[in-house]
Copies of this chain bind each other. A is one copy, B any other.
């Protein structure tokens, strides 16, 4: 009845991944940075509904988890560029699959209409 063995390690690494990227903003941030580095203000402009406080926080966490590189230039006004690390790049194809899955699984949803990111 109770199974003899449950694959804890796989569950744990999955949970770990979700702890790192499984929230409201982080996948979007990674997604936006997939084409190259971007400044803080640009990220903030492209995700109009995020507050500066939360964006700062998410970027810090992603940096701590080794997904982002933060480059601060000694200029006035300040300039800070964020870019993906190799770790994060390895995640991109999986994020693409997650997005493909939603398109297939929820064809009734019109993702064309939605606005998370401002078009330039």
Contacts and interface: CB of A to CB of B under 8 A. Distances in A.
Interface stretch (A13-21, A55-63, A70-78): A13-21
A103 interface: yes
Contacts of A116: 8, 11-12, 15
A11 B23 contact: no
Given A23-B18, A24-B18, A111-B16, A118 B10 contact: no
The interface residues of chain A, by DSSP majority, are classed as: helix
Task: Count identical subunits in the complex.
Answer: 2
Given A9-B114, A117-B6, A120-B4, A95 B14 contact: yes
B28 A11 contact: yes
Contacts of A16: 102, 106, 109, 111
Contacts of A111: 8-10, 12-13, 16
B120 A3 contact: yes
